[in-house]
Structure 1
Amino acid sequence: MIVYITICVCLFFLLVLIWFINKVWWTPVRIQSRMRSQGIKGPSHKFIHGSTKDILNMKNETMRSPMELSHQIYPRVSPHVYSWIKLYGKNFLMWYGLEAQLVVTEPQLIKEILSDKHRAYPKREPREYTKKLLGNGLVTAQGEKWFKQRKLANHAFHAETLKSMIPDMIASAEMMLDRWRDNEGQEIDVYQEFKILTLEAISRTAFGSSYLEGENIFNMLTKLTFFISKNEYRVRIPVIGKLVKTHDDIESHKTEQDIRDSIIKIIKKRESNVMTGEVESYGSDLLGVLMQAYHNVDETLKISLDDLIDECKTFYIAGHETTASLLTWTVLLLAIHNDWQDKARNEVLQLFGQQSPNADNISRLKIMSMIINESLRLYPPVVLILRKVKKEVKLGKFVIPADVDITIPTLAVHHDPQIWGEEFHLFKPERFAGGVANATNNNMAAFIPFGLGPRTCVGFNYAIMEAKIALSMILQQYKFTLSPTYVHSPASIITLRPQHGLQVLLHAL
């Protein structure tokens, strides 16, 4: 009996050893060799950690001190991609621990990946902390589940529905401007202001509530984003990493549960209003559409409570983060380039006078559209788009093996001198005078601030509309200049944001 147990234990440890050698050594060697044979090189895989230590060291070095006031932010925000493209070419292989990541920056290949007609490049499974933040919502879901969720979201953000959201967006902007009247001629951190504005707007338009009701959820979601940032390049040792829980693991799990409880309260409140007859239906906003699906008797249309909660989390975080980022960097650009601020203001005053924007005249803001597009090019809200190769696939002239992650660095594409010219780092909204197609020479994958293809961000029209409304109302009342205290330090924490805020001086007109 003892001999039998000894043999079993030895076999078990032998199998574990074989698995470990295959996972930790042979698989990286095999993938690296296969990619090199096709001309795709990159930094060598390092035991367990892959490229993560090198990436973290480069990022820490660039973030150690602020940069000069320049729009050439690519080497600072993505220093590893910037450096390795120079060494290895436009497409290269790097490693997140044991996971191979193919970095792709050629627009033709990007178009092929994001168009994904044959579902060869699904979304990558989110890492642990990101999953706590977004769950299995629209951003992370796959297959039929994603299709159902996308259909619901499309309904909630339909063009006609967007028009009905304009009064709430205006009311949110008016609340912000009311606060600003006490700060005229003084310094104000517009990044913090825009976070409040966009949360107020998404709370009103998508959830039928207010900033105060959503503030607690927002604060907890923000807490989770910093857990993600802190652990972004922390590689877990296989098996052991699953068993040992860190302080961040425990805290993030508790925060996730608290967010869930808070969202359920909002759902129960809406259900109670319907049951008591206070309102006739769940409503046509995002929450209402999701709750109708949750209570649907048709199983093919029904969503679970978990799905409902995950969608709420997704739109709480995505609905304000991207727009806050867009507004912040656009104000920075206009504060620096006063000539374009004046052009935008003149257009607004000619179209609206001192009246609030409306659905018809918002679409006529041509100069504003050019400015916003150039802001999105220089400072895209999301700096990475992630996909996965599900099974071996041919990409352009390359054959990519299964289970390789694909990383598309937005900044690398938006700041490519071969696409945008030698003045790629300069603020030149006139690039977009003839529209995006003309600016990119009909190469749509060269401009991807909201992605491309079937998984283009469903809320991008919402974000653009809210940004145009807020900027128009600001320009009607204020001229703004950059404060001497502003420190230029762009950082990517879920979205691209100013590390130390954006301080401007307000001058009432």
Structure 2
Amino acid sequence: MEECFVAMNMASSVVLVGILSFIFYAYINEWYKSERIRRKLIKQGISGPPPSFLRGNLPDMKRIQAQISTTMKASTNNSYNFLEHHDDYTATIFPYFEHWRKQYGRLYTYSTGMKQHLYVNQPELVKEINQCNNLDLGKPSHNSNKLRPLFGNGIVRANGLSWAHQRKLIAPEFFMDKVKGMVGLMIESAQPLLTKWEQCIEAHGGGNGMVEVKVDADLRGFSADVISRVCFGHSYSKGKEIFSKIRILKEAISNSGYLFGLGRGTWKQSESSNLEKEIESLIWELVEERKASSSSEIDLMQSLLEAAKNDENQGQGKNFCKQFIVDNCKNIYLAGHETTAISASWSLMFLALHPEWQSHIRTEVAQYCPNGIPDADSLPLLKTVTMVIQEVLRLYPPAAFVAREAYEDIQIGNLKVPKGVNIWTLIPTLHRDIEIWGEDANEFKPERFKEGVSKACKFPQSYLPFGSGARLCVGKNLGMMELKIVIALIISKFQVSLSPSYKHSPICRILVEPEHGVDLLIQKI
């Protein structure tokens, strides 16, 4: 009996050793594969930080991140320092990129574990990447997989033929002719915000008195109501719980380090899964309610329902079609309202710092909108509002990166990119490059857009607040229209200034947003 147990233990040990050996061999093999890719890039004259065995440059990234965090904690917190030093905030959010850029220039390679990356901030190469229509160049799978709970397989995460199919379906819903028809709903959605702020002032004595407000939640409410109304045929109140849970999930995934594993917190997979199921259940309730209503309104929801029905008739299962609808609803709920709300917050922050631009906007609104309310005809005439928004999106674009992965060996300009390489373009750094924008690249100067983007800088393809090329954000027209309406309405009714409570701390939670919100002092005009 004892010999039997000894034999069984030996057999188990052999199996365990075999499994561990296989895992180790596979790991080493992947590392050598990454090294071969790295050597191919180096042969093209692309340098970069030397990687460590198996972990690549992750130890360097953590060390540089820790150093900048220590420096920031040790320094005196003065939110107004940025008025004098409009530096590229990526030096604090992604300090390793700035550190390496100073060493290796606008094009270099680095690695995270087994994954090889290219940092590309050369204008001509950026143009080539964004104009590439090859379906072999898509969203990076490594990071994309971590965002699956937020976006599913909807248009934001999709690649290849799936992405092309979804874009063909969704993009027409945001063409300018349709967006113009949404202006009335957008103005209605802004009224609760305006009324709330007016009542807040009245409650604190009215007249010319000032009151402090944190604008972020109110702007999210406005943007969420617009998305709810124009895309899904219901009010924000019905979808409020969905927006709330999506925001919780977004922040949790961001804090867990979805980019390179350099997170600030932990997030259990079970918690993510449960929250994801709750969000999908809530969305499907609204979908079923819409189907039961027999509404004849043609909006995004109706288009999704019809597309899903067509796919089902062509052999796709009901579960696939249900997931198709839910995933794209999640995409629009998050991408459609968070980016606009965040950009509106940054816009009001800059206008609070530059009251002369508030005056310019009021003059323009008074000239083209006699009743103080813009419409589809007057909005294109509000050039000052447009310039201000374009400049804010230059300095604080909501998305920090344009990220791509080569699914096959591809040629981009004079660069041969091996299969498996991830390409990263850091948008805010590109937007602040003095060789592209001039010596005043870090200053808030909306007048640079007086003659449009094409005349604003040396390389117009370097302006990427909505991406570019085939992957241009489908909601660009809607987002710009929302921003113009809400900024024009707020500034025409209120004088805004920055509150002493405001703490300037940009942070990347998938999107670049004010970590502590934007605190303003508002006064009725």
Q: TM-score over 0.5 for the alignment?
A: yes
1:291 is the counterpart of 2:298: no
1:85 is the counterpart of 2:101: yes
1:51, distance to aligned residue in structure 2 (A): 2.9
1:69 is the counterpart of 2:82: yes
Q: Give 1:395's aligned residue.
A: 412
1:208, distance to aligned residue in structure 2 (A): 1.4
Asked if the contact 2:403–2:423 (Cα under 8 Å) also holds between the matched residues in 1, the reply is: yes
1:27, distance to aligned residue in structure 2 (A): 2.4
1:22 is the counterpart of 2:29: yes
State the SS of the aligned residue for 1:356.
Answer: coil
User: Relative to 1, partners in 2 of residues 1:204 and 1:451: Cα closer, same or farther, differing over 3 Å?
Assistant: same
Distance 2:517 2:56 in 1: 33
Distance 1:416 1:173 in 2: 35
Flag structure 1 segments of 5+ consecutive residues without an equivalent: 237-245
Q: Give 1:404's aligned residue.
A: 421
User: Relative to 1, partners in 2 of residues 1:5 and 1:219: Cα closer, same or farther, differing over 3 Å?
Assistant: closer
Matching residue's letter, 2:293: N
Matching residue's letter, 1:295: K
1:271, distance to aligned residue in structure 2 (A): 1.1
Distance 2:63 2:14 in 1: 45
State the SS of the aligned residue for 1:457.
Answer: coil
1:14, distance to aligned residue in structure 2 (A): 4.5
Matching residue's letter, 2:213: I
User: Relative to 1, partners in 2 of residues 1:128 and 1:227: Cα closer, same or farther, differing over 3 Å?
Assistant: farther
Instruction: Tell me the number of residue pairs that the alignment of Structure 1 and Structure 2 aligns.
Output: 492
* 1:360-386 Cα distance to aligned partner (Å, 9 max, x none): 110111111111111111010101111
Distance 1:374 1:11 in 2: 59
Which of 385, 390, 393 does residue 368 from structure 1 map onto? 385
State the SS of the aligned residue for 1:295.
Answer: helix
Asked if the contact 1:97–1:235 (Cα under 8 Å) also holds between the matched residues in 2, the reply is: no
1:233, distance to aligned residue in structure 2 (A): 5.5
Q: Give 1:239's aligned residue.
A: none
Which of 452, 466, 469 does residue 482 from structure 2 map onto? 466
Matching residue's letter, 2:82: L
Matching residue's letter, 1:207: F
1:266 is the counterpart of 2:286: yes
Matches within 5 A, 1:44-193: 44-59=50-65, 61-62=67-68, 64-65=72-73, 66=77, 68-70=81-83, 71-72=86-87, 73-125=89-141, 126-184=143-201, 185-193=210-218
Q: Give 2:275's aligned residue.
A: 255
1:97, distance to aligned residue in structure 2 (A): 2.8
Deviates more, 1:214-223 or 1:465-474: 214-223
Q: Give 1:351's aligned residue.
A: 368
1:118, distance to aligned residue in structure 2 (A): 2.9
Matching residue's letter, 2:33: T
Deviates more, 1:176-185 or 1:403-412: 176-185
User: Relative to 1, partners in 2 of residues 1:57 and 1:206: Cα closer, same or farther, differing over 3 Å?
Assistant: farther
* 1:44-64 Cα distance to aligned partner (Å, 9 max, x none): 223444333443454455454
Q: Give 2:205's aligned residue.
A: none
* 1:127-154 Cα distance to aligned partner (Å, 9 max, x none): 4431110111111112222122112212
1:221 is the counterpart of 2:251: no
Q: Give 2:344's aligned residue.
A: 327
> What value does the CA root-mean-square deviation take over the aligned residues?
2.4
Matching residue's letter, 1:408: T
Asked if the contact 1:102–1:406 (Cα under 8 Å) also holds between the matched residues in 2, the reply is: yes
Asked if the contact 2:135–2:159 (Cα under 8 Å) also holds between the matched residues in 1, the reply is: no
1:432 is the counterpart of 2:438: no
* 1:64-98 Cα distance to aligned partner (Å, 9 max, x none): 45562243223223322111100111111122332
Deviates more, 1:337-346 or 1:304-313: 337-346
State the SS of the aligned residue for 2:381.
Answer: coil
Matching residue's letter, 2:498: L
Distance 2:179 2:128 in 1: 30
1:42, distance to aligned residue in structure 2 (A): 1.8
Asked if the contact 1:52–1:233 (Cα under 8 Å) also holds between the matched residues in 2, the reply is: no
State the SS of the aligned residue for 1:69.
Answer: helix
Asked if the contact 2:144–2:157 (Cα under 8 Å) also holds between the matched residues in 1, the reply is: no
* 1:213-258 Cα distance to aligned partner (Å, 9 max, x none): 111111111111122212226868xxxxxxxxx8521101111111
* 1:3-46 Cα distance to aligned partner (Å, 9 max, x none): 9999887766554332221113x223323333223221222223
Q: Give 2:236's aligned residue.
A: 211
1:211, distance to aligned residue in structure 2 (A): 1.8
1:31 is the counterpart of 2:37: yes
Distance 2:63 2:279 in 1: 33
Asked if the contact 1:134–1:140 (Cα under 8 Å) also holds between the matched residues in 2, the reply is: yes
Matching residue's letter, 1:343: H
Distance 1:300 1:112 in 2: 38
Distance 2:372 2:13 in 1: 84
1:212, distance to aligned residue in structure 2 (A): 1.7
Asked if the contact 2:252–2:267 (Cα under 8 Å) also holds between the matched residues in 1, the reply is: no
* 1:271-318 Cα distance to aligned partner (Å, 9 max, x none): 1112xxxx3x3x212112111212236539997111111000000001
Distance 2:326 2:66 in 1: 35
Distance 1:301 1:474 in 2: 47
Distance 2:258 2:53 in 1: 15
Deviates more, 1:147-156 or 1:9-18: 9-18
Flag structure 2 segments of 5+ consecutive residues without an equivalent: 1-6, 202-209
